[in-house]
Amino acid sequence: MLKKTEFTKLETINMPTKYGNFLLTTYQTCLKNDKSMRYIFVVQTPNLPEVPIIRIHSACLLSEIFNIELCDCNDQMKKSLKLISKKKGILFYLDQEGRGHGLFDKVRELKLQEKGYDHIEASIKLGLPVDSRKYYVVAKLLKAMKITKIRLITNNPRKIKDLEKDGIEIVERVIIKPYKNKHCYNYLLIKKEKQSHLIDI
């Protein structure tokens, strides 16, 4: 079970969307070793199979609200919701903006990218970790839901390793084809070449 000191379950509501009908459960977090994560939204289909399809998605306000095309986050979320609606599963939406750096540092990084740095170089120049996102919280929630085997929608091998380390069996990795445009091509290339993301560009 989740410790009350780590998570507080708030409400579950019906969430009709253009992709399908979901249930949205909100959690407030109070993680001693990660005070930056304030909330988790769990978006799931009403009926889950024994091995559900899962997407772990970190918040990206600029793409999801303003449709900025410097990354493929918004496209990944939309494709994931469509697939989850069809195949039955869960999207975990985590408060980990800007690879865990927060919105304001993310904007500072984007400014450096305008000057020719890639997103990894920008993080290092600002004295930030390349990627400070954590996924153990999803493993905790899955276990609380009595789910230990999943099909994971991801191109990020680190998500696979982190979940497996915390006792979640990845039965299948479900591929998302990246959304490519002239603004985010280099971003995707760096993810593939420097972070070993499993993408074909």
Task: For residue 146, give both structure tokens.
Answer: 């009595």
> Counting Cβ atoms within 10 Å, is residue 33 exposed (0-12), middle (13-18) or buried (19+)?
exposed
Task: For residue 95, give both structure tokens.
Answer: 């408060």
Q: What is the DSSP letter of 106?
A: H
For the annotated catalytic residues, the residue numbers are 131, 133
Q: What is the distance between the alpha carbons of residues 85 and 19, in angstroms, rounded to a whole number?
A: 7
Judge whether 126 and 90 are in contact, CB under 8 Å: no
The DSSP element (H or E) to which 76 belongs, if any, is helix 73-87
Judge whether 95 and 39 are in contact, CB under 8 Å: yes
Provide the 3-class DSSP secondary structure of residue 150. Answer: strand
Judge whether 64 and 70 are in contact, CB under 8 Å: no
Judge whether 149 and 169 are in contact, CB under 8 Å: yes
Q: What is the distance between the alpha carbons of residues 167 and 192, in angstroms, rounded to a whole number?
A: 26
